[in-house]
Structure 1
Amino acid sequence: MKRRLLALVCVSASLLSGCGLMPGDAERSTVTVWLMRHSASQEYLDRFTEEFEREHPDLDLDIRIQEWTGIGEKVQKALETGGEDGPDVIEVGNTQVAAYAEGDGLLDLTLESMRDWDREDWLPGLAEPGQWGSQQYGIPWYAANRVVIYRKDLFRQAGITAPPKTRDEWLTLTEELDTGGNQGIYLAGQDWYTLAGFIWEEGGDLAKERDGVWRGALDSPEALRGMEFYRRLQALGDGPVDADEEHPPQAGVFAEGKVAQIVAVPGLASAILKQNPELEDELGYFPVPGKDADKPGAVFTGGSDLVIPAKTDSREGAIEVVAALTGAKWNTDLARTMNYVPNKAGLAESVKGEEGVAAMAAGAAQGRATPITPQWSAVEADNPIKEYMTKVLTGSDPVTEAERAARRITEALAFD
C-alpha cells in the first residue's frame, strides 16, 4: 500500500531545468502481504519474493508474518481502517472467509478467478467456503485433511496385506486388529471433524440453509447414519467418550505402541516419532474409506485462502501476488516444501512421492467445509455436537439427542 518514488534528483539548471526522475527510474508500488506463521518456510518466501520482484519490476513485496492467536480481530480492524500501513493480501482460514466478506470488507475476485485461475479445478473444501453469496472472495491456497495413520507391523501380525477400500472393509479389518491387547483404532468420542466426514459421506449435513435461514441438521436420517457408523468404529478401541482427540493428545497414545490406527493429519506423525522413534519404518497412511471402493470418503478440509481487502490501494499488485501464489508453479512448490495438498485436484500428482501427503490429496478430492455462514463460529464456541456424540456413545437415544443438538445449532446460527 505504501508508494515510494525512487530518488528524485535535482540537477543544475545549466544542465536540466527543474527536478525529475533519472533515466530508467520508475514509480514502484509495495504490496503488503500478511501470511500466518508456519504456513510457508522462510526459504520458500525468499525464493518467491526474489522471482516475483524480478518478474514485476514495478512491485516490491513486504511479507509480514502473523500469529493465529487474535488474528480475527486484527484482520477485521485492518479491513475496516485500510490505510497505507495495512495489508493488501491476507491469508485466512478457509472457513473464515464468510465472516470477513459479510461486511463488504473484501474485494470480489469472481471475474479474475473465472478468467485466469482455473477455478473449475479447485478443491471444493477450499473453494466453496471462499464464496459469499454468488461471489468468490477467497482464492484457495493450500489444504490439509485427515487420513488414517496406521501401524504396518500390527497389520502384518493380523494377516492384513492391504488397507481397506470401503467403510465395511474398514470395520471388519479394525475388528480383527482389536485383539491381543491392541486397540483396533483410537478414536476419541468427541472428534466431531471426523464425524462430519461420515455424515457428509451419507449425504447429510451439520446444518442446512433454506430461504436464508440456517437450521441444524444432525437429526436427518443421513446424519444419524453417519453417527451410527462413528459409534461402531469408535467401539473398536478405548478412546474416551467424553473428550476430543487432544485430551489426551492422540499422538502420545499412538506412540505408546498398542494402537493400530488413528484418524489425523499426516503431519501428526512427527509428534508420534518424537515420542517413539522406533516406529520410523512402521507408519503407513491411507485415505478415510468411503461407502464405495471407487473413491475415498468425505473429509473435513482445512487450510487457507488468500483474500484482498476492498480498501487496498494496490489492487492490481495484490491480484498479481494472489495469482502467483495460487498458480501451478508456486502452489506445487509450496505443497512439496510444506507437505500440503495443492489447491487443485490436477496438481495432486506433484506430491505422490510422499505417502502421507498422497493419501491426504486423494481424500481432499472429497473434502468439505463447515457450513458457510459467519455464525458458524458461535456453534463451535459452545459446541453441541461434542455433547451429542458423548450422549450417543454412552447409550442415550440417538434420535432424541440429535434433535436436541440440532435445535441448539439452529439457535446459535440465528444469533446476529
Structure 2
Amino acid sequence: MKRLSPCAVVTLCLAASLTACTSTSPSTGAAQADAADKGTLTVWLQAEAQSLWPTSVEAATAEFRKKYPDVTVTVSYQAWADHLSKFDAAAQADKVPDVIELGNSETAQYTAAGAFIDLGGQRGTFDNSATWQKGLLDACAVGQKLFCVPYYGGTRAVVYRKDLLAEAGVTKAPTTWKELQDAVQALADKNRDNTNFSPFFLPGQHPYGALPFVFDAGGSIASQNAEGRWTSQLSTPSSLSGLKNWKTLVDAGMRGDRTANDLGAAPALAAGRAAMSFSTNGQMVKVFGPEGDPALKEKIGSFPMPSPTRDGEVAPPYLGGSVLAVPAKSAHQQWASEWVRQFTATERQKEFLAGGFLANTMTLTSDDPQRAGYFQGLEKSWSVPPARNWAAVEKANLVKQMLVDIASGKSTPEEATAAYGKKIEGVLNAS
C-alpha cells in the first residue's frame, strides 16, 4: 500500500471528467499531434525518482528523444500526500499529465473509471513483461487489458541483529517457523530482566506484518461475486488461522506499545531494544544509516518470513510499489507509451535495484547477502483487492484498527474480523 491522498473515491462526476469522450485509443487530435512529433510531454513522478535515481530519468528521456528529438520532456515531481487530488483537479480542468506514477494500491479507482488507456496490445514491447512481479501486475491487469506498467517494487523481510541472536545462542538465520519461534524464545530468555526489549518488534498497526500470515494460511482480504459485490474474507477459517499465527508471534516477541506502527522498528533495532522486525529494505538501511548506528552495518541481516503452515517455505509477501499509467485524456499517448517503455527498460530496472528497491521483474535480483531475504517468495506475492473503493478502506484505517484491536487483546480475532469485515464491506460496496 502506498501513501494515499485525501481523495479516496472517484465520484461519477470525476469518472466523467477523467474519460469524457476519450477512448482507449488516441483521438484524432492526439494522433495529429503525435504525427507532428513536436511538442511537450508531461510526466508526473514521485519524489523518490528525483532523490534516488535522477540519472535514470535523464537516461530514459535521452533514449526517448532518439526517437522523438523535437519533443521536450517535462518531469514534475509530486508528493504522495496530494498527488491524486492534484490529478483529479487536472482531469476536471482537461490538463492531465501524459504519464503519471501511482502506488499499486491506488489504481483500481481509476481503472474502474476508465481514466487510463489500455496498453494490453503493447505489452510485449515492454522489457520483462513476461516476468513482471505479480503484486505489481495485479494492480494493472484486468483480464486481457493492461492499464498501467509495473515500475518498481518493495517488500518486507525479517531484519535481524546477528550479534543479539548470537548472544542468545542462535548462530544462523531461522528458515522454518519452529526455528523462528525457538529464536524468539531464546532471545526472551536471554533478556528476561529487560522489559523494554522485544525479541521480535511486531506492533499491531502494521498490515503488511500481519496480512502475509492470512495469505499463507489460504485466506484473503475480500472477494467479489459475479454481480460485483464485495464480501470480506477475513472471518473465514483460513484467514482466522493466519491471524492467530501472527498473534502468536506478536505475543511471543513484542514488548511495549502494540498499538504503534512499524516506523519504530529501525530505532528499536539500532538501540538494541529489539532483535528482529518485519520491515522494508528502507527500514533496514536506517538501522545502520545516519539516523541509526553505522557501527551495526555488518551486524544486520535479513531472511524471509518462514511459513507457519508449510515447513521450510516462505510466507507470501505483500509487494508494494509503483506503476506508470497513460491517462485517457492525454493528447500524446504514443509519446507517453514510448517514454514509459524507456523508463521501465532493463537498464533502468538495474538502477532501481541498485537504489535499494525491487525491479519490476523476478529475473533481476541483488547479490548483496544483506538483502537476501527480500528476493524469496516473490512468485507468491500479493496485493490489495482490486476494488475501486479500496483507497477509502485504507483512508479509514479499518484494517489497521482491526489488527490493533487483536494485537492489544481488545478483541479476539473472531470478534475483530466480524466487526471490521462489515465496515470494510460497507466501504467497498458504496456507490
TM-score by length of 2: 0.83
Cα offsets for 1:119-161 (capped at 9, x unmatched): 3311111000113465210210100011111001012222223
Residue correspondences, number = 388
Matched-pair contact (CA < 8 Å) for 2:37–2:68: no
1:7-406 alignment, distance < 5 Å: 27-39=37-49, 40-83=52-95, 86-114=96-124, 116-132=126-142, 134-181=144-191, 182-211=197-226, 212-235=228-251, 236-246=253-263, 249-273=264-288, 274-290=291-307, 291-292=309-310, 295-336=313-354, 338-348=355-365, 351-353=366-368, 355-356=370-371, 358-393=372-407, 394=409, 396-406=411-421
Q: Distance in 2 between matches of 1:27 and 1:241?
A: 57
Q: Deviations over 1:300-352 (max 9, x none)?
A: 1111000001111212111111111222222222221x21100011122xx22
Q: Which one-letter code corresponds to 2:64 in the other structure?
A: F
- Which secondary structure does the structure 1 equivalent of 2:314 belong to? coil
Amino acid at match of 2:170: I
Q: 2:218 is aligned with what amino acid?
A: G
User: Could you tell me how far apart the structure 1 residues matched to 2:422 and 2:144 are?
Assistant: 28
Question: 1:401 and 1:364, CA in 2 relative to 1: closer, same or farther beyond 3 A?
Answer: same
More strand by share: 1
Say if 1:102 and 1:132, in contact at 8 Å, map to a contact too: no
- Provide closer, same or farther for how the CA distance between residues 110 and 32 of structure 1 changes in structure 2, counting only shifts above 3 A: same
| Gap change, CA 1:119 and 1:80, over 3 Å in 2 | farther
The residue type equivalent to 1:232 in the other structure is T
Q: What are the Cα deviations for residues 83-123 of structure 1, in whole angstroms up to 9, with x where unaligned?
A: 4xx41111111111111222211111111115655433111
Alignment partners' CA distance in 1, 2:60 and 2:370 = 26
Q: Deviations over 1:50-72 (max 9, x none)?
A: 34323543543221111212111
1:285 partner amino acid: S
RMSD value, Cα? 2.5
CA contact (8 A) 1:214 1:414 kept: yes
Unaligned runs of 5+ in 2: 1-28, 192-196
C-alpha separation between the residues in 2 aligned to 1:116 and 1:38?
22
Do the aligned partners of 1:33 and 1:61 also contact (CA within 8 Å) in 2?
yes
Q: Whole-Å Cα distance in 1 between the matches of residues 57 and 396 of structure 2?
A: 37
d(CA) in 2 for partners of 1:118 and 1:38? 22
2 CA distance for matches of 1:135 and 1:79?
Answer: 22
Q: Structure 1 residues 192 and 264, CA, compared in 2 at 3 Å: closer, same or farther?
A: same
Which one-letter code corresponds to 1:381 in the other structure? K
Cα displacement string for residues 180-225 of structure 1 (whole angstroms, at most 9, x for unaligned residues): 3243211112222211111011111111111211111110111111
Q: Is the 8 A contact 1:80 1:105 kept in 2?
A: no
Give how far 1:257 is off. 0.7
Taking the aligned partners of 1:27 and 1:190, their CA distance within structure 2 comes to: 50
Determine if contact 1:190/1:245 at 8 Å carries over to the other structure: yes
In terms of mean alpha carbon deviation, does 118-127 or 143-152 score higher?
Answer: 118-127
Distance 2:183 2:427 in 1: 39
CA spacing shift, 1:188–1:96, aligned 2, 3 Å = same
AA partner of residue 302 (structure 1): G
- 1:12 corresponds to: none
Residue type matched to 1:387 in 2? Answer: Q
Give 1:311's aligned amino acid. K
Instruction: Go from structure 1 to structure 2 and tell me whether the alpha carbon gap of 1:54 and 1:412 turns closer, same or farther (over 3 Å shift).
Output: same
Q: Whole-Å Cα distance in 1 between the matches of residues 352 and 208 of structure 2?
A: 25
2:298 is paired with a residue whose SS is: coil
Q: Which has the higher contact order (CA 8 A, sep 6+)?
A: 2
Q: Matched residue of 2:109: which SS? A: helix
CA contact (8 A) 1:106 1:307 kept: yes
Q: Give the conservation status (yes or no) of the 8 Å contact 2:46–2:101.
A: yes
Distance 1:152 1:231, change over 3 A: same
2:75 and 2:405 mapped to 1: Cα distance?
A: 47
Shift of residue 78, structure 1, vs aligned partner: 2.9
Q: Secondary structure at the match of 1:129?
A: coil
